[in-house]
Amino acid sequence: MITGASSGIGESACHLLLEKGYEIIAGVRSIADATKLKTAGGPSLHPLIMDVTDEIGMKTARDEAVTIIGNGTLVAIFNNAGIVVYGAWLYIPIDKWQQQFEVNVIGVIRTTQLFFPLLSVPRQNGDTHPRRVINMGSVSGLFASPFIAPYAASKYALEALSDSLRRELYMYDIQVVIIEAGNIATPIWKKAKQTPSYFGAEYDTILAFKDQMIDGLIAKGMPLKAVNDVVIKTVMAKTVKTRYLVRPQKWKFNFIRLLPTKWVDRLIHRNLQKRSGIRPF
């Protein structure tokens, strides 16, 4: 079962896992997306309307999933749905902070609580397939860049949620995995260009520079294959790690995280000054 399956990582995972012989319950937010997926995926793909912020709608989707699964078994919950709220910490409206956490954090909790009973049913007939809860994290859950504070905070929260759940499921034969993806070429950043940004006057040069920065992220984004291989592994492999960091030059990223915070802040400030003209007050 995959949330956020309309595009990007979720859509790609649907098709990959179909090729591996799985049946897929795909969470989408519109009839149009459901039709598109069904047309491409055929009888083994079952799109369901899933807005992870809608309690009643998610319960309805869970009940529909029970019917679809029948005497089968759910082998993985892939919590992939997510959004990005972009702007300056001081100016992002409270309702946008709430929206970010409703989708990226509460949505994961809601989905996992509702669908977990379908994952934890007793094994039958020699079933040895691994069962997993897979959470789509981000390097932003390890390193908080400026101007994406709500998104980074939600992904830091997902790290903690994954750790706690993994440690609480010791009595089940179910693993919890978090994929800490770097910048992947998906529609999430294009959507960020189309949504409002929240800045004060002191950030005018950043606001003017916003689309260029996002275009840079899109241009430098890793191909979907970089995360596809990890998704397949987390679903199918007999043994898995608790975390999978997916980004180029992992050593450099891990090294920067070891540097003193003041050094890292200075590097970021110099980069902002160089690229956008922002100067300290």
Positions marked active-site: 151
CB-based burial, 90-116: b 16+ in 10 Å, e otherwise: eebeeebbeebbbbbbbbbebbbebbb
Q: What residues contact 276, with CB distance under 8 A and at least 6 apart?
A: 205, 206, 208, 209
Task: Report H helices in 74-203.
Answer: 94-101, 107-119, 149-168, 187-194
- Residue 100 to residue 78: CA distance in whole angstroms: 19
Provide the angle, in degrees to the nearest 10, between the axes of the packed helices 55-69 and 107-119.
Answer: 20
Residue 30 · residue 134 · CB < 8 Å? no
Per-state percent for the chain, helix, strand, coil, to nearest 5: 55, 15, 30
Q: Which of 5, 3, 114, 96 is nearest to 55 (CA)?
A: 114
Beta-sheet strands, E only, within the chain: 24-28, 45-49, 76-79, 131-138, 174-181, 243-246
CB-based burial, 241-261: b 16+ in 10 Å, e otherwise: eebbbbbeeeeebeeeeeeee
Give CA angle at 216 (211, 217), nearest 5°.
Answer: 100
Give CA angle at 231 (118, 113), nearest 5°.
Answer: 30
What tokens does 12 get?
Answer: 């790609």
